[in-house]
Structure 1
Amino acid sequence: MSKDNPEAFETFEFDLPPIRGFPELRWAGKRPFKSTQYFPAQKKESYGDPTDGWWNRIYWGDNLQVMSHLLREFRGKVDFVYIDPPFDSKADYKKSIQVKGATASNDHSSFEEKQYTDMWSSDQFLQFMYERIILIHELLSENGVIYLHCDHRKSHQLRCILDEVFGPDNFETSLSWGFQTRSSNKSSWKKSHHPILLYKKGGDPVFNHDAEMVMEPLSETTIKKYRLEDEVGRYRLNGRFISGSPIKGAKDVDPSYETTHPELVVRDYLREGKVPNDYFFVDMENQSSSVRTNYPTQKPEELLFKLIKASTNQGATILDCFMGSGTAQAVAMKLGRKFIGADINLGSIETTCKRLCGIRDDIERQDGELFSGEYDDKPKKFYTGFEVYNVNNYDLFRNPVEAKELIREAMELQPLPPSSAFDGQREGYLVKIMPVNRIATRQDLNEVINGLDFKAFERRKAETPNKPVERIHLVCMGHEPDLGSHLTLEAKKSGFDIEVMVTDLIRDKAHLHFKKSSDARLAIENGELVIAGFFPMNLLQKLSLESDAVEDWRQLVESVKVDFHFDGAVLTPAIVDAPGKDELVAGRYVIPDDAGTIRVKITDLLSESWEGEIKNG
Structure 2
Amino acid sequence: MTLFEDVKAAFNEGLRQFELIMAENEEEYHISEVYNGGGIGKVIHGDNLSLMINMIRQGMSGSLQLIYVDPPFFSNEKYQASVRIISERIGAADILRIGAYDDRWSRGLREYLTMLTVRFLLMRELLSDRGCLWVHLDWHVVHYVKIIMDEIFGADNFINEVVWTYKSGGANKRSFARKHDNLLFYAKGKEYLFKTQKEKSYNREYKPYRFKGIEEFCDDMGWYTLVNMKDVWSIDMVGRTSVERSGYATQKPEKLLERIIKSCSDEGDLCADFFAGSGTLGAVCRKLGRKWIMCDESRLSVSCQIERLGRQGECFDVERFEPEICENRGEIILSFKDNRIALEQYTVKIMDDKKGECLDVKAIELIKKYLEGDSLSLVKFWSVDFDYDGRVHRADKIMKRGETSCETDEFSAGDKISVCGYDVMGNRFFAVIRAD
TM-score by length of 2: 0.85
Change (3 A) 1:157 1:44: same
Amino acid aligned to 1:286: G
Q: Cα deviations across residues 323-353 of structure 1 (Å, max 9, x unaligned)?
A: 0001011101110001011011111111111
- 2:323 equivalent to 1:393: yes
Could you tell me which of 5, 29, 35 is aligned with 1:39? 29
1:548 CA displacement = 6.7
Equivalent in 343, 359, 380 of residue 531 of structure 1: 343
Q: Per-residue deviation at 1:542?
A: 4.6
Query: Matched residue of 1:610: which SS?
Result: strand
- Bigger CA radius of gyration: 1
1:157 aligns with 2:144: yes
Task: Determine if contact 2:333/2:344 at 8 Å carries over to the other structure.
Answer: yes
Q: Which structure 2 residues correspond to residues 253-264 of structure 1 after superposition, within 5 A?
A: none
Q: Which residue of 1 aligns with 2:201?
A: 218
Paired residues in the alignment total: 403
Helix, strand or coil at the partner of 1:27: helix
Cα distance in 2 for partners of 1:103, 1:358 equals 25
Query: Relative to 1, partners in 2 of residues 1:544 and 1:561: Cα closer, same or farther, differing over 3 Å?
Result: closer
Instruction: Map 1:151-300; keep pairs closer than 5 Å.
Output: 151-210=138-197, 215-221=198-204, 227-228=209-210, 234-235=213-214, 272-300=225-253
Counterpart residue number, 1:549: 372
Query: Equivalents in 1 of 2:408, 2:91: separation in Å?
Result: 37
Distance 1:84 1:614, change over 3 A: same
CA offsets, 1:434-469, max 9 Å, x none? xxxxxxxxxxxxxxxxxxxxxxxxxxxxxxxxxxxx
Contact between 2:80 and 2:249, CA under 8 Å: does it hold in 1?
yes
Aligned runs of 1:427-506 on 2, under 5 Å?
Answer: none
Q: For residue 68 of structure 1, what is the amino acid of its counterpart?
A: I
What is the deviation of 1:390? 1.3
- For residues 42 and 538 of structure 1, the distance between their equivalents in structure 2, rounded to whole angstroms, comes to 24
Q: Cα–Cα, structure 1 residues 544 and 59, in superposed 2: closer, same or farther, change >3 Å? A: closer
Q: Does 1:612 align with 2:431?
A: yes
Matches within 5 A, 1:503-514: none
Identity fraction in percent: 26
**Matches of 1:573 and 1:351, distance apart in 2:** 16
Deviations 1:281-334 (A, max 9, x none): 000111211111111111000000011111111111101000000101110111
Residue 45 (structure 1) shift: 0.9
Determine which of 23, 27, 43 is the counterpart of 2:9.
27
Shift of 1:134: 0.3
- Say which is worse superposed, 199-208 or 128-137, in terms of deviation: 199-208
Deviations for 1:494-546, whole angstroms, at most 9, x for unmatched residues?
Answer: xxxxxxxxxxxxxxxxxxxxx9x543321211111122222235399552626
Per the TM alignment, residue 547 of structure 1 is displaced from its structure 2 partner at its CA by 6.7
Equivalent runs, 1:130-141 vs 2, <5 Å: 130-141=117-128
Residue 145 of structure 1 aligns to a residue whose secondary structure is strand
Q: Report the alpha carbon displacement of residue 39 of structure 1 after superposing the two structures with TM.
A: 1.9
- Residue from 127, 131, 134 that aligns with 1:144: 131
> 2:42 corresponds to which letter in structure 1?
R
User: For 2:131, what is the secondary structure of its paired residue?
Assistant: strand
C-alpha contact 2:36 2:393 (8 A) present in aligned 1? yes
Report the AA paired with residue 563 of structure 1.
D
User: Distance in 2 between the 1:154 and 1:62 partners?
Assistant: 22
Q: How many angstroms apart in 1 are the aligned matches of 2:390 and 2:110?
A: 45
Mark the runs of 5 or more structure 1 residues left unpaired by the alignment.
1-22, 236-261, 264-269, 362-383, 398-514
Across the aligned residues of Structure 1 and Structure 2, the Cα RMSD in angstroms comes to 3.0
Instruction: For 1:161 and 1:46, locate their aligned partners in 2 and report how far apart those are by CA, in whole Å.
Output: 38
CA contact (8 A) 2:11 2:113 kept: no
Residue type at the aligned position of 1:557: V
* Structure with more relative contact order (C-alpha pairs < 8 Å, separation 6 or more): 2
The secondary structure found in structure 2 opposite 1:35 is helix
Return the alpha-carbon distance in structure 2 between the equivalents of residues 395 and 172 of structure 1: 37
Find the residue that maps to 2:319 and give its secondary structure: strand
Deviation, 1:115, is 1.5
- The residue correspondences of 1:55-70 to structure 2 (distance < 5 A) are 55-70=40-55
Question: Of residues 297, 303, 321 in structure 2, which corresponds to 1:344?
Answer: 297
Cα pair 2:41 2:291 within 8 Å, conserved:
yes
Per-residue deviation, 1:198: 0.4
CA contact (8 A) 1:24 1:161 kept: no
Q: Which runs of 5+ in 2 are unaligned?
A: 217-222, 352-362
Report the counterpart of residue 113 of structure 1 in structure 2: 98
SS at match of 1:163: helix
Tell me: CA distance 1:588–1:541, structure 2 relative to 1, closer, same or farther (3 Å).
farther
Matches of 1:342 and 1:526, distance apart in 2: 40
CA distance in 1, matches of 2:91, 2:381: 25
2:71 matched to 1:85?
Answer: yes
TM-superposed CA distance for 1:128, in Å, is 0.2
CA contact (8 A) 1:42 1:389 kept: yes
Distance 2:137 2:269 in 1: 24
Indicate if the aligned counterparts of 1:564 and 1:591 stay in contact, CA closer than 8 A.
Answer: no
Match of 2:258 in 1: 305
Partner of 1:500 in structure 2? none
Which protein is richer in strand relative to its size?
2
AA at the equivalent of 1:390? R
The equivalences for 1:319-398 within 5 A come to 319-359=272-312, 361=313, 384-393=314-323
Q: Is the 8 A contact 1:60 1:390 kept in 2?
A: yes
Match in the other structure for 2:358 = none
TM-aligned CA distance change 1:544 to 1:575, over 3 Å? closer
Conserved? CA contact 1:223–1:273, under 8 Å: no
For 1:222 and 1:143, how far apart are their aligned partners in 2?
42
CA pair 296-103 structure 1, distance change in 2 beyond 3 A? farther
Select the residue among 561, 567, 576 that pairs with 2:383. Answer: 561
Q: Is the 8 A contact 1:24 1:160 kept in 2?
A: no
Equivalent position amino acid for 2:201 in 1 = L
Distance 1:102 1:132, change over 3 A: farther
1:125 aligned partner, one-letter code: Y
Deviation at 1:358, TM superposition (A): 1.9
- The alpha-carbon distance between structure 1 residues 310 and 134, as it changes in their structure 2 partners (threshold 3 A), is same
* 1:587 and 2:405 are equivalent in the alignment: yes
- CA shift in 2, pair 1:609/1:28, >3 Å: closer
CA contact (8 A) 1:76 1:141 kept: yes
* C-alpha distance in 1 between matches for 2:431 and 2:267: 40
Q: Is the 8 A contact 1:61 1:391 kept in 2?
A: yes
Q: Contact 1:58/1:388 (CA < 8 Å) preserved in 2?
A: yes
CA distance 1:537–1:342, change in 2 (3 Å): closer
2:347·2:371 contact (CA, 8 Å) conserved in 1? no
Q: Deviations over 1:155-176 (max 9, x none)?
A: 0011011001001110001000
Q: Is the 8 A contact 1:216 1:280 kept in 2?
A: no
2: CA distance, partners of 1:28 / 1:90: 18
